Amino acid sequence: MPLVTMSPSAPSAAPHATAPAAAGRQFSRARPGARLAALDGLRFLAAAAVVTYHFTVRNSQAWGQSPAQVFPNFGEWAVYGALGPELFFVISGFVILMTAWGKSVSDVVASRVARLFPAYWAAVLLTGVLLLWLWPGGKEVTPGQVAVNLTMLQSLFDVGNVDGVYWTLWAELRFYALILLLVGVGITRRRVMACAALWPAAALLAHAGGPQWLRTLLICEYAPLFAAGMVLFVIRREGSSWAAWLLVAANTVAAVWLVVPDQLARQARNADIVPSGSIIGAVVVGSIALVGVVTLTRVSRVAWPWLTTLGALTFPLYLVHEHWGWWAITHLPAGLPPFVTLAMATAFTLALAAGIHYGIERTVGPRLRCAVKSGLTREPAAPRA
């Protein structure tokens, strides 16, 4: 997931239009330090969709039979929860650009490391303990595999993920590298727009017949999703324009083109329910539209604290839910109604996520950010909550 992986906040400087004409088309302006609580809620919605998909559709031994037999009608709709990561990627394009604009490379690296690794390390170790000792039948892993996974670079070394959901982090890391390049040369509207146009175009060409290393470098399958989120942030920060909306539309079309066959192939491997390609395409379009709605309209002014709380639980929930949830399902009484078992397993993984957030992220994150920032700049940095 992310997976958008950071709670969104407004840019440090007040948004501005690049020309007087743009000011008249400006969408809702962000207040310095303000949070986009609705975007927090949307992140949690994406995670909840993934959790529901894994527990009710994706093939596993948790239920003792195919989930399609346990949830025959519900599963026909829950299968589209597999598109939660695609929504995460759009949100990431928006949020990471927002947090990087006007910042230094060391600031961005420190914030990303502090945001990602505490929860990730906790999740890898928890799931490693589960699969190595508590539930070795859940999935075959080795201590060495767990150790390599702690780097978050296991895909680079061709080592399997301890938990299947970690695949999204590899996509996110490659996107962060692109953002760091932009930060290094200086982020401007023109450069972001050029990136959001040229990068997905190159990704499409590479996907059609380029070498594997180039496809990996360009994040071929998901480049248009990240790019659409980036342009939506430019619209929020700098103002609306026909060029920006054309880029959003073009990246939406490209995303549908790439995601639909990819998802159909994934579900053929991982589930006994066949989704509709048309509905997959509609969900992709809807994901980009939803990010636009919660960031560019009055919905962005929603400030309900409970949405922020849900947003804080999103990343640890995404990381820890799959195998621990399946383990919970196998250990709950077999005679319970399936939806009761589903609710209890979901509540259990939410409790684990809350423990990671309040026990690890909120304590280790600020200190880690301080240490990384100090190490990169060789200057002491004060911890920030």
Q: What is the pLDDT of residues 325-345, one digit of tens each?
A: 999 999 999 999 999 999 999
- Across 17-21, 203-207, 377-381, the highest mean pLDDT is recorded for 203-207
The percentage of the chain sitting over the pLDDT mark of 90, rounded to a whole number, equals 88
Stronger pLDDT, 12 or 258, i.e. the higher one: 258
pLDDT at position 73: 95
Compute the average pLDDT of residues 100-124. Answer: 96
Instruction: Please report, for the chain, the start and end positions of each structural domain, with discontinuous segments joined by +.
Output: 37-377
Collapsed DSSP state (helix, strand, coil) of residue 103 = coil
pLDDT digits (tens, 9 = 90+) for 90-103: 999 999 999 999 99
Say yes or no to pLDDT of 129 above 80: yes
Stronger pLDDT, 380 or 160, i.e. the higher one: 160
pLDDT at position 377: 87
Nearest to 157 by CA among 173, 145, 169: 145
pLDDT at position 35: 75
Say yes or no to pLDDT of 382 above 70: no
pLDDT digits (tens, 9 = 90+) for 212-270: 999 999 999 999 999 999 999 999 999 999 999 999 999 999 999 999 999 999 999 99
Which residue bears the tokens 């621990």?
Answer: 324
- Is this prediction's pTM over 0.85? yes
Nearest to 172 by CA among 127, 113, 126: 113
Say yes or no to pLDDT of 161 above 50: yes
Say yes or no to pLDDT of 81 above 80: yes
CB-side neighbour CA atoms (13 Å) of 57: 26
Q: Which residues pair with 58 in a beta bridge?
A: 271
Residue type at position 59 = N
Gap between the Cα atoms of 205 and 208, Å rounded:
5
pLDDT band at 378 (very low <50, low <70, confident <90, very high): confident
pLDDT at position 79: 98
Please give the mean pLDDT across all residues of the chain: 91
Got the DSSP string for 123-192? HHHHHHHIIIII-TTS----HHHHHHHTTT-TTTTT---SSGGGHHHHHHHHHHHHHHHHHHH---HHHH
Gap between the Cα atoms of 250 and 230, Å rounded:
13
Residue type at position 324 = W
pLDDT band at 30 (very low <50, low <70, confident <90, very high): very low
